[in-house]
């Protein structure tokens, strides 16, 4: 994954294959646009506050495991 997506999407069926049209969009620009839309009441952001809390929990448990050398549980409760 990069900030500027690349590539193509091919549809393969029994009748052959064809390229599907896709629009490439900078991931950062997309994230900011979706956040702005959500704040304005037009949809939801790609990541919620709950997603952020869970991500932080994984990062903190990983850090603790790295420091202690032991398996560390991850608390995903919100």
Q: With bands split at pLDDT 50, 70 and 90, how would you rate the model's confidence at 2?
A: low
What percentage of the chain carries pLDDT values higher than 70? 94
What's the pLDDT at 34? 86
* Phi and psi at residue 13, to the nearest 5°: -130, 180
The predicted model gives 31-53 an average pLDDT of 88
Q: With bands split at pLDDT 50, 70 and 90, how would you rate the model's confidence at 35?
A: confident
Query: What is the pTM (predicted TM-score) of this model?
Result: 0.53
Nearest residue to 76 (alpha-carbon basis) of 60, 68, 64: 60
**Radius of gyration for the chain, computed over Cα atoms and rounded to the nearest angstrom:** 19
What does the chain come to in residues? 78
What's the pLDDT at 20? 94
Residues 6+ apart with CB under 8 A from 11: 17, 18, 19, 20
């Amino acid at each position: 994954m990069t900030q500027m997506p690349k590539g193509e999407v091919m549809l393969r069926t029994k009748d052959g294959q064809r390229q599907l049209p896709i629009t490439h969009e900078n991931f950062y620009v997309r994230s900011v646009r979706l956040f702005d839309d959500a704040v304005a009441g037009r949809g939801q952001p790609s990541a919620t506050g709950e997603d952020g809390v869970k991500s932080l929990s994984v990062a903190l448990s990983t850090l603790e495991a790295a420091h202690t050398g032991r398996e560390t549980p991850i608390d995903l409760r919100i």
